[in-house]
Amino acid sequence: MIRVESISKQFTVRERASLLSLRAHTRVVKAVDGVSFEAHDGQITGILGPNGAGKTTTLRMLSTLLTPDQGRVEIDGVDLLSGRAEIRQRLGVLGDSKGLYWRLTARENIVYFARLHGLSSHDAATRADRLLHELGLDALADRPTQGFSQGERIKVAIGRALVHDPQTVMLDEPTNGLDIMSTRSMRELILRLKTQGKCVLFSTHLMQEVAALCDRIVIIAQGRVVFSGTTGEVLALPGVASLEEGFVKLIGSEEGLFA
């Protein structure tokens, strides 16, 4: 379970000098501003929002890559600030960067991360074999990942994220770059994680994905939560006939709807 209470994060941005001013200036950007929500075990929670809304920054804070300026986060009852090492063992994360060790094969990439998580050689190999099969990577398992397509790289990155059987899984746009059949397989995998009692949190731009997968959704706009609830509650809003219409109504703009 993930419990997020009023987290915020701001960055100082250095702007280039202009023709009117030879001096560079800095400004403060508040990427996340008091975000609060919960994501429960045995459920799929989707994070939605236009580009620049703060989704990825939020996921980076929850995955311990960034430290919140304020607020509190608990994952499986462990405090984010005082229990970073324990949280990293509990998490499976597919971030916005899906970089792989390109000289290693798909199998070697997954086994390497399993060993980093403390699995024995035997258990690492067993888990890797199972994930390679579930992700449809059997034919590519022993090829170096250099030259893999975007979809194939994402599948290997998903395998890395799940190899230690984490209780809580965070996925940043997991179907981005996948073809239709690979997308179907990925959605089936996400649903299996739910049936295993995992807490699944993922970001997406695709309303079809939200409708097919999510038990609850959190909509973020301009760094703040503008909605937290079920898809049914979105559809129950006055004048809303679809999730897309509800999304536009809640964020007050069509920006990012088809990004």
User: Quick one: average pLDDT of 117-144?
Assistant: 94
Does any domain span residue 64? yes
- Confidence band (pLDDT; 50, 70, 90) for 25? confident
Cα angle at 246 between 203 and 213, to 5 degrees? 40
**What pLDDT sits at residue 254?**
54
Does any domain span residue 41? yes
- What CATH code is carried by the domain that includes residue 44? 3.40.50.300
Does any domain span residue 227? yes
pLDDT digits (tens, 9 = 90+) for 181-234: 888 888 888 999 999 999 999 998 888 889 889 999 999 999 999 999 999 999
Query: Which structural domain range is residue 9 located in?
Result: 2-18+26-251
User: Quick one: average pLDDT of 56-61?
Assistant: 92
**What pLDDT sits at residue 99?**
77
Does any domain span residue 258? no
- The residue with greater pLDDT, 113 or 28, is 113
> What are the DSSP calls for the chain, one per residue?
-EEEEEEEEEEEEEEPP-SS-SS-EEEEEEEEEEEEEEE-TTEEEEEE--TTSSHHHHHHHHTTSS--SEEEEEETTEETTT-HHHHHHHEEEE-S-----TTSBHHHHHHHHHHHTT--HHHHHHHHHHHHHHTT-GGGTTSBSTT--HHHHHHHHHHHHHTT--SEEEEESTTTT--HHHHHHHHHHHHHHHHTT-EEEEE-S-HHHHHHH-SEEEEEETTEEEEEE-HHHHHTSTT--SHHHHHHHHHTS-TTTT-
What's the token pair of residue 67?
């430290």
**pLDDT > 70? residue 258:** no
pLDDT digits (tens, 9 = 90+) for 141-188: 999 999 888 888 888 999 999 999 999 999 988 887 778 888 888 888
Does any domain span residue 219? yes
**pLDDT > 50? residue 106:** yes
Residue 167 CA to residue 89 CA, distance in Å, equals 9
The chain-wide mean pLDDT, for the chain, equals: 89
- Overall number of domains in the chain: 1
Does any domain span residue 259? no
Does any domain span residue 166? yes
User: Quick one: average pLDDT of 53-63?
Assistant: 92
**What pLDDT sits at residue 256?**
46
- Confidence band (pLDDT; 50, 70, 90) for 24? low
